[in-house]
Amino acid sequence: MNHIAPGARAGIYHYDEIDRQFVAERVEQFRKQVDRRLSGELTEEEFKPVRLMNGLYLQLHAYMLRIAVPYGVMSAVQLRKLAEIGRRYDRGYGHFTTRQNLQYNWIKLEDTPAILHELAEVDMHALQTSGNCVRNVTTDPFVGAAKDEVVDGRVYAEILRQWTTMHPEFTYLPRKFKIAISGAESDRAAVRIHDVGLLARRNDKGEPGFSFYVGGGLGRSPFVGKLVREWVAQEDFVAYLEAILRVYNQYGRRDNIYKARIKILVHELGLETFTREVEEEFARLRGPKYRLDPEVVEAIRQHFAPPPFEELPDHSDALERARAADPAFANWLAVNVAEHKAPGYAIATISLKPAGGIPGDATCDQMDLVADLAERHSFGELRVTHVQNLVLAHVKKDELYDLWKRLDDAGLGSANAGLIGDIIACPGLDYCALANARSIPLAQAISARFADPVRQRTIGELGIKISGCINACGHHHVGAIGILGVDKKGTEYYQITVGGDPTLTTAIGDILGPAVTETEAVDAIEAIVDVYLANRRDGAERFVDTLARVGHAPFKERIYAAD
């Protein structure tokens, strides 16, 4: 195969020949399976699980292909390939998802083997994006750059990728299995809503280790992950996870799809029993075979060595001049740019949430532009976030203004990261075969209503998250304001929850009252914001804190007063 390897850039893991051969073999295997399906040798019933294992779903209008972006990090070369595929085989755009992946919505079954072949040329694939396996491991989109980072999550995410890919015991779990890792003080990976959430820490000797949270998840029965062990040393990292997966494989329910996730097992066994089972299994497993060799960790860490940062003063005169001269840029800086650990550098979030736009969608031209900008300003790599945005992690402060102007010209300059306009919305009934209601139009109406950047900053940190059905792909349970689409006798209604929190203080939102129509929903959100602004202390109290202090009553009163 003709590989256009991502190049010796920082931050991207280099596949070796074993990885490449494996991916290539899978593509050829799938090509034959598609041929056999099209020729009638395989029935749909036989073919469907194979199709899903290769990331191909059937949606309302066509097939949907989900491409894995391992731990959300990719190279400019890879993004350009995604743009090329979107143009040639789809309709000129793609959708970045809360799983830090990319989905195309208009794929033909007969084209899929060719698409997978092209992806393999840049070390990409759709493996582990579907089915009851360990899914693509996610991590902090600021990994390797954040000032508050203690441990580099990519290293352990990559160890897990290698360890779980085709692991015979873990390809037929009771249900899908999602793992997230955060190695920074603030949790930007929503670890406690995953089947296993890992917080990487260092002990007083500076050695890395992990807190294990197990049994988090959203969907029909939302649960916050529970702390199963405070400290697992690096050498036991794989053994402990293997112990958890074994207990899950042994006791997890296979009779009822709604009760099959590990969150239900943890809930039904109780934390104490579950932990005891895991600890017993761990005690049995612990030994040379499962000990994570520090040399292996070091070899993988080499792949993620810091890029060649220049020695720069932390202060940038060019940046300060631009900040003073251009208020729109100053606003973007304040909202979308985060502190970097290297002096003179910064982390820039590229919002895929223009006011009135479709959250997470990017055109192929925009992808090409971001690839160019990643090459010019960020060592040729970029990240996908779980709030459906992109990140250039290593931008020189001197170059931020140039970057922003190019982004803004292409409709990518919105200053709303973390604000009310930064809405997560799943595809909903516009695309998804499982949906009860549309999600996107509501997101568009809300972001248009709150388009004014000054108003957004006045409101401050406030996440709105929308799902079109109880599967909760849009994370509505953990939205400060969550919206769930429901179907009432053929009409779309929306149920509003408040008080959700995706960070380390994870909380599942509470339902505020009866579901409302789409038009009412936009007004209701505005009413909630008004009540918050009228009640918040010191002009700075966060929405969730005001809500915790004043309770639901004033919000309910305002929204449902007319009833």
Partner 1 sequence: MSAKDRSKEGSMKAITANRLRDGEVVFLGDGGRWVESFAEAALFPRDEADGVLAAAKEKAERERFGVDIYAFEVVEQDGVPVPATMRERIRTAGPTVRTDLGKQAWGKQAWGNQAA
Chain positions contacting ligand HEM, by CB under 6 A: 57, 59, 64, 97-99, 103, 175-176, 178, 217-219, 261, 426-427, 431-432, 434, 471-473
Structure token pair of residue 93: 């755009």
Residue closer to partner 1 by CB (options 485, 509) is: 485
Inter-CA distances, 75 with 337, 382, 389, Å: 20, 6, 16
Residue closer to ligand HEM by CB (options 231, 258) is: 258
Structure token pair of residue 43: 């029935």
Per CB under 6 A, 486 contacts ligand SF4 = no
The region of 208-216, 430-438, 445-453, 454-462 touching ligand SF4 under the rule CB under 6 A is 430-438
Per CB under 8 A, contacts with partner 1 among 72-91 are 91
Per CB under 8 A, 109 contacts partner 1 = yes
Residue 38 site contact among ligand HEM, ligand SF4, partner 1, none (CB < 5 to 8 Å, cut-off depends on kind):
partner 1
Least distance (Å) from partner 1 to the CB of residue 387?
Answer: 19
Residue 109 site contact among ligand HEM, ligand SF4, partner 1, none (CB < 5 to 8 Å, cut-off depends on kind):
partner 1
Query: Cα-flanking dihedrals φ and ψ of residue 100, to 5°?
Result: 60, 30
Residue 199 site contact among ligand HEM, partner 1, ligand SF4, none (CB < 5 to 8 Å, cut-off depends on kind):
none
The region of 19-27, 329-337, 401-409, 461-469 touching ligand SF4 under the rule CB under 6 A is 461-469
DSSP string, 425-493: E--GGGT-TT-SS-SHHHHHHHHHHT--HHHHHHH-S--EEEESSTT-TT-GGGSSEEEEEEEETTEEE
Least distance (Å) from ligand HEM to the CB of residue 361?
Answer: 11
Least distance (Å) from ligand SF4 to the CB of residue 416?
Answer: 22
Structure token pair of residue 422: 């930064």
Residue 108 site contact among partner 1, ligand HEM, ligand SF4, none (CB < 5 to 8 Å, cut-off depends on kind):
partner 1
Per CB under 8 A, 15 contacts partner 1 = no
Per CB under 8 A, 429 contacts partner 1 = yes
β-strand partners of 223:
217
Least distance (Å) from partner 1 to the CB of residue 108?
Answer: 4
Structure token pair of residue 458: 């006045």
Residue closer to ligand HEM by CB (options 218, 446) is: 218
3-state DSSP assignment of residue 494: strand
Least distance (Å) from ligand SF4 to the CB of residue 445?
Answer: 17
Per CB under 6 A, 467 contacts ligand SF4 = yes
Q: Of residues 74, 347, 435, 528, which one binds ligand SF4 by CB under 6 A?
A: 435
The region of 73-81, 108-116, 124-132, 141-149 touching partner 1 under the rule CB under 8 A is 108-116
Q: How far apart are the first and last CA of the chain?
A: 65
Listed residue (389, 467, 463) closest to 428, CA to CA = 467
Distance CA 195, CA 192 (A): 8
Residue closer to ligand HEM by CB (options 234, 439) is: 439
Per CB under 8 A, 492 contacts partner 1 = yes
Residue 52 site contact among partner 1, ligand HEM, ligand SF4, none (CB < 5 to 8 Å, cut-off depends on kind):
none
Structure token pair of residue 56: 């191909």
Least distance (Å) from ligand HEM to the CB of residue 308?
Answer: 34
- Residue at 411: amino acid letter: G
Distance CA 543, CA 537 (A): 10
CB 424 within 8 A of CB 387: yes
Distance CA 458, CA 404 (A): 22
Listed residue (144, 173, 56, 54) closest to 108, CA to CA = 56
CB 90 within 8 A of CB 29: no
Per CB under 6 A, 471 contacts ligand SF4 = yes
Residue closer to ligand HEM by CB (options 6, 216) is: 216
Residue 178 site contact among partner 1, ligand HEM, ligand SF4, none (CB < 5 to 8 Å, cut-off depends on kind):
ligand HEM
* Longest CA span, the chain: 69
Q: Which residues contact 402 (CB under 8 A, 6 or more apart)?
A: 377
Q: Which residues contact 501 (CB under 8 A, 6 or more apart)?
A: 478, 480, 507, 544
Residues that bind ligand SF4 (CB under 6 A): 426-428, 432, 434-435, 467-469, 471-474
